[in-house]
């Protein structure tokens, strides 16, 4: 079969790129060995958020008496929670299949292996194309920890596929996005949860205050958190497993029914290239690409988790579209990583874009910052939300917005306004003039911007 483009991988980077290529007139094939939608839809973003929604409703029901509501005895059905999760993912998978069919993209349900610069073996089918786009995704990384192969030691795949993993005591190795979201789900269901993180704080790449605030909230919900902790081994215990680690206090142990290892993801490149053919890789094993997503072989491109830049579904989609448009001669611009929003779906939600004040300081950039604590926001009080805040960072010279960090209800929705503001170079004065409805969470943006100017209406002036 002869095509203009063969896409390997049916996740966000792959299927979106395939559809865009077809819209641009390219004959396109998509090769996917598992389910359409990739990790994000089947073993990542969507199932996590579906379970998170259910867990949050359960937790909020337990706090409803303050609202004048009494639901009686709460209970949940773990199997039914996962049945709904499976139904959500199936519905979205069907939608992707219909989109691909409507755009006349041929789908090959098989392992795709690149034989040479123009040939892909998809099961029993040999496909050729002018261009090849690799969007093979990633898989959970497994560090060399003694005992990591014991029954009961799992990755996020096991937690999110099929009927999931039920337990009363969960220990999570890794306090990154996956770790804290899983901790939030299980803690909201009343499970005993422990996080063991090697860095000095959870969510180490994010704003320090976000990490500190989330730690406080999780601990309030019963989660034990150990930081600066290095795991040495996992062993069998009388009633489950024991995790052995060392932190500032010395050697420690923690027992659990299940140990979740969530220390990052590695590129899914096993078997991707036939013997005798490959593209250049980075030291960490990701596929090396230039700013147009071209590999060391000029007509082979790569996007998404497999290149390791920002392992986010929306980043992969943007990369896939950019790569296809570049190969079609439409554009030369690449993805601006300063405009990629990062989101964490804990409660409260976390979202950020651009740079923080600390990052600006490191590069010698003078900034003006504004912060609004959401405790005074009417919608936050109405909905009984936990302590949160909105921070904005402006370039001191131009007064243009260059970054924002949010930790509040609906932060993952609110961030879009600030992404737009950063992309357009909107100034503090322009953002101040924007009228936002009342009562809403987005009023906090107005207050944070006003705070940067030193004249917030709803925040008491700081003592000087």
The per-residue pLDDT for range 133-167, each reduced to its tens digit, is 999 999 999 999 999 999 999 999 999 998 999 99
What's the pLDDT band for 460 if we cut at 50, 70, 90? Answer: low
**Mean pLDDT for the stretch of residues 297-316:** 95
pLDDT at 309: 85
| Known active-site residue 438 | yes
pTM > 0.85: yes or no: yes
User: From CA 464, how far away is CA 457, in angstroms rounded?
Assistant: 18
Residue of 82, 244, 314, 438 marked catalytic:
438
Q: Specify the range with the lowest mean pLDDT, choosing from 91-100, 326-335, 399-408, 412-421.
A: 326-335
pLDDT at 281: 96
3-state secondary structure of 43: helix
Phi first, then psi: what are they for 166, rounded to 5°?
Answer: -90, 140
Tell me: cis bond preceding 419? Omega within 30 of 0 counts.
Answer: no
pLDDT at 116: 96
Q: State the burial class of residue 105 (Cβ atoms within 10 Å of its Cβ: 0-12, 13-18, 19+).
A: buried
Q: Specify the range with the lowest mean pLDDT, choosing from 243-257, 305-319, 333-347.
A: 333-347
Q: Is the pLDDT at 463 greater than 50, yes or no?
A: no
pLDDT at 334: 75
**Mean pLDDT for the stretch of residues 98-115:** 97
Q: Are 201 and 226 in contact, with CB atoms under 8 Å apart?
A: no
**369-385 tens-digit pLDDT:** 999 999 999 999 999 99
Mean pLDDT value across the chain: 94
Q: Is the pLDDT at 464 greater than 80, yes or no?
A: no
**Number of CB atoms found within 10 A of residue 305's CB:** 30
Alpha helices (H) in 103-176, listed in sequence order: 156-160
């Amino acid at each position: 079969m002869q095509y203009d483009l063969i896409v390997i991988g049916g996740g966000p980077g792959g299927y979106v790129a395939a559809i865009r290529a077809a819209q641009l007139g390219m004959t396109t094939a998509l090769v996917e060995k598992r389910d359409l939608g990739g990790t994000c839809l089947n073993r990542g973003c969507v199932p996590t958020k579906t379970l998170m929604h259910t867990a949050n409703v359960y937790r909020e029901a337990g706090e409803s008496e303050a609202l004048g509501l009494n639901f009686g005895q709460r209970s949940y059905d773990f199997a039914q929670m996962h049945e709904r999760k499976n139904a959500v993912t199936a519905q979205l998978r069907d939608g992707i299949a219909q989109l691909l069919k409507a755009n006349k993209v041929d789908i090959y349900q098989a392992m795709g292996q690149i034989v040479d610069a123009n040939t892909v073996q998809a099961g029993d089918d040999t496909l050729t194309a002018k261009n090849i786009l690799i969007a093979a995704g990633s898989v959970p990384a497994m560090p060399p920890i003694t005992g990591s192969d014991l029954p009961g030691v799992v990755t996020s795949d096991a937690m999110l596929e099929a009927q999931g993993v039920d337990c009363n005591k969960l220990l999570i190795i890794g306090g990154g996005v996956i770790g804290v979201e899983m901790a939030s789900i299980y803690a909201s269901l009343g499970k005993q949860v422990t996080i063991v993180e090697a860095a000095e704080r959870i969510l180490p790449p994010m704003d320090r205050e976000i990490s500190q605030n989330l730690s406080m909230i999780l601990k309030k919900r019963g989660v034990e958190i150990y930081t600066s902790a290095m795991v040495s081994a996992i062993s069998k215990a009388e009633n489950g497993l024991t995790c052995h680690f060392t932190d500032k206090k010395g050697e420690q142990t923690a027992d659990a029914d299940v140990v979740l290892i969530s220390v990052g993801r590695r590129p899914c490149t096993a078997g991707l290239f036939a013997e005798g053919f490959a593209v250049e890789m980075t030291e960490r094993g990701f596929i090396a690409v230039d700013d147009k997503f071209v590999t060391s072989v000029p007509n082979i491109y790569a996007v998404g988790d497999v290149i390791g830049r920002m392992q986010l579904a929306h980043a992969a989609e943007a990369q896939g579209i950019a790569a296809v448009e570049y190969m079609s001669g439409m554009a030369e611009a690449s993805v601006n990583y300063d405009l990629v929003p990062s989101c964490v779906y804990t409660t409260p939600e976390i979202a950020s874009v651009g740079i923080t004040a600390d990052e600006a300081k490191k590069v010698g950039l003078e900034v003006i910052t504004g912060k609004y604590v959401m405790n005074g926001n009417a919608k936050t009080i109405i909905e009984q939300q936990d302590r949160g805040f909105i921070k904005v960072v402006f370039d001191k010279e131009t007064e243009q917005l260059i970054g924002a960090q949010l930790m509040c209800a609906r932060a993952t929705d609110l961030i879009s306004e600030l992404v737009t503001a950063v992309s357009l170079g909107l100034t503090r004065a322009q953002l101040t003039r924007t009228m936002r409805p009342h009562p809403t969470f987005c009023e906090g943006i107005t207050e944070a911007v006003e705070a940067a100017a030193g004249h917030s209406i709803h925040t008491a002036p700081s003592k000087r």
